[in-house]
Amino acid sequence: MTHVADHPVSTATDAQTRAQNWLSSFETALRDRDIPAAAALFATDSYWRDLVSFTWNLVTVEGRDGVSDLLTDTLERTDPASFETSEPTTEDGGVVTAWFTFETGIGRGQGLVRLTQEEGEDKAWTLLTALRELKGHEEPRGVRRAKGAEHGARRDRKTWADRRQEEAESLGSTTQPYALIIGGGQGGIALGARLRQLDVPALVIDKHPRPGDQWRGRYKSLCLHDPVWYDHLPYLKFPDNWPVFAPKDKIADWLESYVKVMEVPYWSNTEAKSASWSEERGEWTVQVERDGQPVTLRPSQLIFATGMSGKPRMPEVEGMDVFEGDVHHSSAHPGPDAYAGKRAVVIGSNNSAFDICGALWENGADVTMVQRSSTHIVKSESLMEYGLGDLYSERAVDAGVTTEKADLIFASLPYRIMHQFQIPAYEKMAEVDKDFYDRLEGAGFWHDWGDDGSGLFMKYLRRGSGYYIDVGSADLVANGDVKLVHGQIDHLSKDAVVLADGTELPADLVVFATGYNSMNGWVADLIDPQTADQLGKCWGLGSDTTKDPGPWEGEQRNMWKPTNVPNLWMHGGNLHQSRHYSLYLALQLKARYEGLDTPVYALQPVHHTA
Amino acid sequence: MTHVADHPVSTATDAQTRAQNWLSSFETALRDRDIPAAAALFATDSYWRDLVSFTWNLVTVEGRDGVSDLLTDTLERTDPASFETSEPTTEDGGVVTAWFTFETGIGRGQGLVRLTQEEGEDKAWTLLTALRELKGHEEPRGVRRAKGAEHGARRDRKTWADRRQEEAESLGSTTQPYALIIGGGQGGIALGARLRQLDVPALVIDKHPRPGDQWRGRYKSLCLHDPVWYDHLPYLKFPDNWPVFAPKDKIADWLESYVKVMEVPYWSNTEAKSASWSEERGEWTVQVERDGQPVTLRPSQLIFATGMSGKPRMPEVEGMDVFEGDVHHSSAHPGPDAYAGKRAVVIGSNNSAFDICGALWENGADVTMVQRSSTHIVKSESLMEYGLGDLYSERAVDAGVTTEKADLIFASLPYRIMHQFQIPAYEKMAEVDKDFYDRLEGAGFWHDWGDDGSGLFMKYLRRGSGYYIDVGSADLVANGDVKLVHGQIDHLSKDAVVLADGTELPADLVVFATGYNSMNGWVADLIDPQTADQLGKCWGLGSDTTKDPGPWEGEQRNMWKPTNVPNLWMHGGNLHQSRHYSLYLALQLKARYEGLDTPVYALQPVHHTA
């Protein structure tokens, strides 16, 4: 994800001293409520990212003015103190990087600061502050873990199994979840696990029969596209024999086991039908159907964990009713088994399109890919080596960069300048894989590197689409095994896809790998379109690049933080984000459950509704 | 488990140099095949414990003669080399403790040596050498892990799920397990997981419907008596929110998930009916009943993992047929639910007896315990603090003593002198818990500290019985809530237990918590009594203490190592032993599967048949 070298290059005592001095000055300014002094400790171009610890929000402010604004609003009530380096500070290329811990009035945090010299003084270039736990509500881990056995003899003993059964029987009838999480994929499960540890009554609901079915039900050759070091869930790491790229059924089994082992409250076979907020009662009314029976749930907080990809985007194409073959969106594609010897046309040229084309070809179908606009492709091996290797790899683990540490390093890189760190990695990939790209383009494939050459991960953060991590299917296009056609769809005839230029592509199967709309589409369906508009577009940074319109937002729109719809939250993303951001979302929910004051700094305004 | 201080006290450079010098001298002597020189590097009183790396056995030899004997038999073919310290050496109280790695012709090993000064020279007081892996057969972990996804496009693609299904369908019909493990508790599962990683075709069979039922089916208040740090299975550690003493249903769910996640080949609902060895075909014929259907399995290696406690010991008592209430062995006791308000007599005063008495009392039964001989009791908290804390605790983990490291430290303490390390811990417990013991003895309870005052763990290793880890029930006896009676059973009448002195104990329920016989009883049942005798008694050290007759064996009889019955192996013990020794058993099986030469040094003779 990043090309920045965050492994120690030198561990000079003076780097340590410089970090301690800066932290000490910062703490003094904050203790004295001297906002100008605090702001003066930042460089002219600087970024402070706070995850919940000062702001009860996920916020990045920029420059001294941003720092002043944040502190003016939050300093008094945050009451920060006890800034201390937490491991040896390093210095590399003039940048001092220091890990630290700190406290606020209500919690304990951790952070990472990068110092540069400006006019001979150490100034913060980037600062990350992140809440780790709430005082008095620490998780029962390590020395705080539960004892389990209740020693002594008592006639009213209830066992763990008794209590689990009582909870299961009462939840949704005599007791209500404080937090209802809709969607039981990795996002919902990770959040459910954290809320269990924080003792917040929660419930995850999912329409599938079993946890993990979100993965099981997909095409058979699917494997994770991200490597194992990037994919751990909270609390329980994959064992060190776990494959680099886990097959879908294996990850599905893991998720199912995880739900049980982490005691995530989870209803399978349960679909949310409608939801409405009662201002008067201060709660949601959510109608669900569990095993075909209606149940009404009344949570205080409603969390959508329905997939950051959101609702399938199915273009309105004339002739859908005339076409005599099978036609479906990629998300509903059952896999290739029924299509050996058949003619398949796949509309689209991103991840799903490539994966589906590859699987159809492997199964003996005659496959045509219709590319409508350019796509960015990177080879999986190169992405591992040049994109992720410093943070998420066996070599990172060996260098002491645990997944948790990697997450914080990554979180400490401001979105505003992240593309600058990304560009060199993709330049490197263009160089080492030149033959590959030459062949692809020789076959007529429209390839791009993102609007500013920053590659895959920025595309993911900005628009969540427009790329393919190549695990082999790109070669099928390059060598002509999968036919490539360019153009826009005009209509379907009874046995063909007809393009705008009149080209007819005979087809027994048409797959629309045409992507997804914003997550707030789910809100429109479940609550109402007004609430969806009030919430606004989800995901994206406002980078003013393709499919990510400005203005600049500073953070991902509406994800894991307070939205303009009270008591409504959006959770999603890949396994990394599900793991990392579920902590901050869980702490926000816990604070509200405990009745703590949680004034939100800089609630993000809505600039787009879809 | 041990009172020896194995945490670093000083990390003097000279300790490191002394260790390196000793290892270098040892390596030179071994390379030169100079056995007298190698033996001269050991102290007069010294112990070399080898786990499979030199001996293809678990063996402890004593003194220079023992070293000479071991090397005479094994040195040439072992071809050891590359002895190197693997972390900073420590020195404490005149003893230098050094971790090291080494190689042999076929594998890589790790070890721990303790040096003392004898006549001004560093001599080995204790040496542990342990095989870690076989060259060319390293486990697919870390950088060697499987890739998972098979990149590229191929028309014969088989997915992970396809391969798993094919394996499941063929196993036991068109393919045979090389190793058949009877018993799917923690022992069988841990070994099954290791054999999967080592790519040895194996199968675990168990009569219960689901993995974990071995625990689920027991009395409802049961929790593990050992703490979490002591209980990890191989590969996949409990998360750090895991309770100190896991409730039985929670550990059962973990085992079930573990089987799935680690892909342990496991047949539930399967009972072994008979087994016989064919010398001619070099394989076992094992008749099993799977889901009620007969299946014949033909493994090369047969492993009993049926519980170190072995077969329930049910005394022959007159009047069993006359008694009108319920009567059963503790292992078949269904728990207290049906006995509220009833009169229960529990025969025995060890762990099971106390647990069952406690649960019956909690459920409102009128309970009498019949103590037949003295028992050793320690309070769980004290055992944690003084018995286990240095090796298995949060404080040990914080001090860098991982579970794997603790296992090796523990394995490095020779059985012959282990009691010397144990005695002070129990003296300490006697002191801090004096009030408790006074109250117990005041209530007439016969209490002991083991024949030589070495307490619980030595009783466990020597006889596997004779103690109770108090989690609360001892107080019920001390305060009279559970009545205590001494004596031997004479007979049962229709409604009472009658003791030899004529005492009548009215009873609706009689539980014989009378312990277990040696594991070779399972062999007598499944194979035949001759083979059980050829195998001999299992467990115990030959310490010539109560229920552990001499002569001294040096290691636990028949456990995890070659026995006098070719291709028959015994595996069992608590979670610690299941974890630790499953590695050495798995490596022995792997070597045989790969056709390596595995000459066994010092095969243990049979001194007792039961």
* pLDDT tens digit sequence for B359-388: 999 999 999 999 999 999 999 999 999 999
Phi, psi for B509 (deg, rounded to 5): -140, 135
- DSSP 8-state symbol, B223: B
Give yes or no for a cis peptide into B424 (omega within 30° of 0): no
The single-letter DSSP state of residue A207 is S
Name the residue in chain A with its Cα closest to that of B363.
A155
Residues A601/A74, Cβ–Cβ less than 8 Å? yes
The rounded distance, in Å, linking the Cα atoms of A250 and A222 is: 11
CA distance B484 to chain A (A): 17
Distance from CA of A31 to the nearest CA of B (A): 33
The first and second tokens of residue A150, run together, are: 């209740």
Q: How far, in Å, CA of A198 to CA of A135, rounded?
A: 12
pLDDT of residue B10: 43
Query: What three-state secondary structure class fits B145?
Result: coil
E-assigned strand segments in A138-282: 179-182, 202-205, 266-267, 270-278
Interface of B with A in 72-131 (CB under 8 A): none
Interchain proximity A223–B394, CB inside 8 Å:
no
Question: Taking CB atoms and an 8 Å limit, are B220 and A159 in contact across chains?
Answer: yes
**Least Cα separation, residue A190 to chain B (angstroms):** 14
Cα distance between residue B462 and residue A606, in whole Å: 73
**Which amino acid, residue A574?**
N
Q: Residue A512 region, left (φ>0) first, then alpha (ψ -120 to 50), else beta? A: beta
Q: For residue A6, what pLDDT is reported? A: 46
Q: How many angstroms separate the CA atoms of B428 and B434, rounded?
A: 10
Name the nearest CA neighbour of A459 among A382, A580, A377.
Answer: A377
pLDDT, average across residues A99-103: 98
Q: Nearest to residue A604, comparing CAs of A570, A568, A567, A553?
A: A553
How far apart CA B287 and CA A61 sit, in angstroms, is 72
Give the Cα separation of A521 and A499 in Å (integer).
Answer: 29
Distance CA B563, CA B583 (A): 17
Separation between Cα atoms, residue B490 and residue A246, nearest integer Å = 63
pLDDT for A7? 44
User: What residue type is assigned to position B508 of the chain?
Assistant: D
Predicted TM-score (pTM) of the model is 0.94
Sorting pLDDT into bands at 50, 70 and 90, what band is A156? confident
Q: Over A543-589, what HEC string results?
A: CCECCECCCCCCCCCCECCCCCCCCEEECCCCHHHHHHHHHHHHHHH
B414 prior amide bond cis, ω within 30: no
Average pLDDT in chain B: 94
Q: Name residues 178-207 of chain A within 8 A of B (Cβ).
A: 197
Pinpoint the alpha helices (H) of B262-376.
351-362
Partner residue opposite A260 with nearest CB, options B149, B221, B257: B257
Q: What is the pLDDT of residues A558-596, one digit of tens each?
A: 999 999 999 999 999 999 999 999 999 999 999 999 999
Query: Which among B153, B245, B254 is the nearest to A475, CB-wise?
Result: B153
For position A152, what pLDDT does the model report? 84
The runs of H, that is alpha helices, within B443-535 are 455-462, 473-478, 520-526, 529-535
Mean per-residue pLDDT, B192-214: 97
Contact B602, B56 (CB under 8 A): no
For residue B158, pLDDT over 50 is answered with: yes
Q: Which residues of A touch B157 (CB under 8 A)?
A: 221, 362
B241 vs A162, A197, A260: nearest CB: A197
pLDDT at residue B103 greater than cutoff 60:
yes
* Cα–Cα distance measured from residue B588 to residue B593, given in angstroms and rounded to the nearest whole number: 9
- Taking the CA of residue B560 and the nearest CA in chain A, the distance in Å comes to 24
Q: Best mutation site among A133, A151, A226, A232 for testing chain B: the one with the most B CBs within 10 Å?
A: A151
Asked if the Cβ–Cβ distance from A235 to B240 is below 8 Å, we say yes
Mutation target for B interface from A133, A141, A145: give the one with most B CBs within 10 A. Answer: A145
Q: B134: which strand partners?
A: B107
Quick count: other Cβ atoms within 10 Å of Cβ B502? 8
Chain B residues in contact with A197 by the CB 8 A cut-off are 241
Sign of CA dihedral A514, A520, A525, A529: negative
- Out of A151-155, A191-195, A205-209, least confident range: A151-155
Confidence of residue A610 (pLDDT cuts 50, 70, 90): confident
- How far are the Cα atoms of B51, B281, B560 from residue B588, in angstroms, in the given order? 10, 21, 9
Q: Name residue B594's amino acid.
A: E
**Whole-number pLDDT of residue B218:** 83
pLDDT given at position B13: 58
* A249, A216 Cβ separation under 8 angstroms: yes
Q: Residue A313: is its pLDDT beyond 70?
A: yes
Q: What mean pLDDT do residues B104-126 have?
A: 97
Query: H or E element: which one contains A522?
Result: helix A520-526
For residue A172, count CB atoms less than 10 angstroms from its CB and return exposed for 0-12, middle for 13-18, buried for 19 or more.
buried
Closest chain B residue to the Cα of A223, Cα to Cα: B149
Yes or no: say if A320 and A510 are a contact pair by the CB < 8 Å rule: no
Residue B142: CB atoms within 10 Å? 12
Give the C-alpha separation, A158 to A256, whole Å.
26
The burial of A217, by beta-carbon neighbours within 10 Å (0-12 exposed, 13-18 middle, 19 or more buried), is given as middle
For chains A and B, what is the number of CB pairs under 8 angstroms? 165
pLDDT tens by residue, A242-299: 999 999 999 999 999 999 999 999 999 999 999 999 999 999 999 999 999 999 999 9
Mean of pLDDT values over A388-403: 93
| CB-CB under 8 Å, A159 with B240 | no
- Among residues B330, B324, B382, B321, which one has the least CA distance to residue B351? B330
Q: Angle at the Cα of A559 (from A103 to A47), degrees rounded to 5?
A: 55
- Say what the pLDDT of residue A2 is: 41
Beta-carbon contacts of residue B274 (< 8 Å; ≥ 6 apart): B286, B287, B526, B527
**What's the whole-number mean pLDDT along residues A372-399?**
94
The rounded distance, in Å, linking the Cα atoms of A420 and A408 is 18
Nearest to B313 by CA among B538, B516, B609: B516
- Mean pLDDT throughout A153-176? 92
Cis before residue B315, ω within 30 degrees of 0? no
Confidence of residue A13 (pLDDT cuts 50, 70, 90): low
- pLDDT of B321 strictly over 60: yes
Of the candidates A456, A453, A474, A452, the one whose C-alpha atom is nearest the C-alpha of residue A465 is: A456
Question: Chain B contacts of A228, Cβ < 8 Å?
Answer: 145
Query: Rounded CA gap, B247 and A222, in Å?
Result: 37
A236 touches chain B (CB under 8 A): yes
Mean pLDDT of B139-153: 90
The H helix count followed by the E strand count for chain B is 18, 25
**pLDDT at residue number B7:** 44
Mean of the pLDDT values across residues A376-390? 93
Residue A277 has a pLDDT of 98
% of residues, chain B, pLDDT over 70: 98
Asked if A142 is an interface residue toward chain B (Cβ–Cβ < 8 A), one would say yes
- For the segment A46-60, the average pLDDT, to the nearest whole number, is 98
Residue B385 gets which letter from DSSP?
A: I
Tens-digit pLDDT profile for residues B460-495? 999 999 999 998 899 999 999 999 999 999 999 999
Q: Do A146 and B471 touch (CB under 8 A)?
A: no
Average pLDDT value over all residues in chain A: 94
A500 phi-psi bin (left φ>0, alpha ψ -120 to 50, beta other): alpha
Which percentage of chain B shows pLDDT scores above 90?
Answer: 91
Q: Which of A236, A263, A355 to mutate to test the interface with B (most CBs of B within 10 A)?
A: A236
Preferred mutation among B241, B354, B393 to probe A, highest tally of A CBs within 10 A: B241
- Whether the CB-CB separation of B569 and B304 falls below 8 Å is answered with yes
A330-334, A509-513, B429-433: which has the minimum mean pLDDT? A330-334
Pick from B141, B149, B256: CB nearest A245: B149
Amino acid A475: pLDDT? 95
pLDDT of residue A5: 42
Q: What is the ipTM of this complex?
A: 0.92
Give the whole-angstrom CA distance, residue A239 versus residue B102.
26
pLDDT of B101: 98
Residue A393 predicted with pLDDT over 80 = yes
Say if residue B219's pLDDT is above 90: no
Of A247-256, A423-432, B51-60, B141-150, which gets the smallest average pLDDT? B141-150
Check if the beta carbon of residue B122 is closer than 8 Å to that of residue B137: no
For residue B332, the tally of other CB atoms under 10 A from its CB is: 12
Q: Which helix (H) or strand (E) holds A420?
A: helix A415-432
